[in-house]
Amino acid sequence: MKILIIGSGGREHAISMALSKNSNNNMIYAMPGNPGMLEYCECVNIDQLQFDEIISFIKKNSIDLVIIGPEVPICEGLTDIIEDVGVKVFAPNKLASVLESSKKFTKEISFENNIPTGYAKWFIDFVSAENHLKSLEPPYVIKADGLAAGKGVSICENYDDAIDALKDIFNGRFGKNQSVVIEEFLDGEEVSYFAVTDGTNMCPLIGAQDHKRLLNGDLGPNTGGMGAYCPPPLLNKNLENKIISQILEPTLNGLKNRGINYKGILFAGLMVKDNEPKLIEYNIRFGDPETQALLMLLKSDFTELVMSVVNGDLKSHKIEWYDQKALTVVLANEGYPNQYNQHEEITGIDEAEKNQKIKVFHAGTKIRDGKLIATGGRVLNVTSIDHTIENARDNAYEAIKKIRYKGKIYREDIAWRALG
């Protein structure tokens, strides 16, 4: 079988690793991919938004299955275009992608189907949003309604910061014509929870905890994610049952009532307090960096899981996990999530991976003049698997010491909620 992965980050690197374990995959391509993925697949230098060239490649190379990693091409309709030429796709279609591309839509689905979530209102102009803000007490939660690469959320402790966040959104920092969602601040612990669905059946995967803030202690600006671990200790069976019955199943039913058939990954961002979950938002793809930890724990064949989704026979599929813990730490470039250097050479990855419990996924790297260069805001994901979260964490941080590039930054407290 010939498989094409769309994307170039650590998530896609982890997906290529998982796919490579199936002996029936006679060829895996990545578009555009990254240097780390060359271990598992052939990288093709076509951008994820060059749809005509993507379709031409699919036809020319008789691709059987496409897995789309990032949200932008999904929301731009790439799934629909590929399916129109008769090729199976592991990703929701454009109609279903609104679950991520509009936070307003997610709130509407939640309110219509009695899904536990925070109170929210949405606005298309600054004056109306400002007037509503005056009626609230801090902390204020300000969100760009559309896609913002995980950076469009501001939790503001005072009114002036909230006004600045509104101005950023309405002035186009996260794209033109963005509206604003202002919602209730939810207290508790955040959890990422993943499931797959074939449009009729749903199969829960596993949960993780991400670390969105840049700095230790959950301080600093929001990022795309600075590290994750799974499964988190607070995710007990009772809580999982509530997530499935109170949030995931009503969401899929609500989408069906609107004529939307959702197939692919369903990623719920949740807030948990006193063992009660509330929905924060949805993503329509695997999380990054959660996937890098999650797929290290998958014992079952990933290709078979994906095929059961696209073929509509998920009901008969069984998933097995290793009875271990996984943790990933994001190495970023100094200056991220704003301006950063894109020219520094990376060394030491081979040395770090001498520990067989370590896998280093590439998130923002390129080869220039035969050297591996840190080109992204998030550069590498140092991932470890072990019998305890503490051991996995220690492995990862020991490996990080061996990886070198100028401007390397990372959080030193990944899994602090689990370990104290």
pLDDT at 150: 66
Residue 172 pLDDT level (bands cut at 50, 70, 90): confident
Map out the domains of the chain as residue ranges. Answer: 2-94, 119-183, 189-316, 325-419
How would you label 223-242 residue by residue, b for 16+ Cβ within 10 Å and e otherwise?
bbbbbbbbbbeebeeebbeb
Residue 25 has pLDDT above 80, yes or no: no
Q: Is the per-residue pLDDT at 258 higher than 90?
A: yes
- In this predicted structure, the answer to whether residue 47 has a pLDDT above a threshold of 70 is yes
Examine the pLDDT at 143 and tell me if it is beyond 80.
Answer: yes
pLDDT at 175: 79
Which architecture, in CATH terms, is 189-316?
2-Layer Sandwich (3.30)
**pLDDT over threshold 80, residue 401:** yes
Question: Can you spell out the DSSP letters for 354-393?
Answer: TSTTEEEEESSEEEETTEEEE-SSEEEEEEEEESSHHHHH
Q: Which band of pLDDT confidence, cut at 50, 70 and 90, is reported for residue 160?
A: very high
Q: Does domain 119-183 have CATH number 1.25.40.10?
A: no
**pLDDT, tens digit, for every residue of 3-19?**
999 999 999 999 999 99
**pLDDT at position 334, please?**
97
The SS3 of residue 99 is helix
Q: Tell me the average pLDDT across 120-138.
A: 94
What percent of the chain is predicted at pLDDT more than 70?
99
293-310 per-position pLDDT tens digit: 999 999 999 999 999 999
How far from the centroid of its chain's Cα atoms is residue 238's Cα?
A: 25
Cα dihedral across residues 76, 77, 82, 88: positive or negative:
positive
CATH architecture under which domain 325-419 falls: Alpha-Beta Complex (3.90)
pLDDT of residue 178: 78
Structure tokens at 153: 């959320």
Pairing of strands 65-68, 120-123: unpaired
Convert the pLDDT of each residue in 174-225 to its tens digit: 877 779 999 999 999 999 999 999 999 999 999 999 999 999 999 998 899 9
| CA proximity to 85, closest of 51, 48, 58, 67 | 58
* 268 neighbors 243 (Cβ within 8 angstroms): yes
pLDDT digits (tens, 9 = 90+) for 54-94: 999 999 999 999 999 999 999 999 999 999 999 999 999 99
Share of the chain above pLDDT 90, in %: 93
Mean pLDDT on 340-368: 97
CATH domain 2-94 topology: Rossmann fold (3.40.50)
The answer to whether residue 23 scores a pLDDT higher than 90 is no
224-257 confidence digits (pLDDT tens)? 999 999 999 999 999 999 999 999 999 999 999 9
What pLDDT score does 92 carry?
98
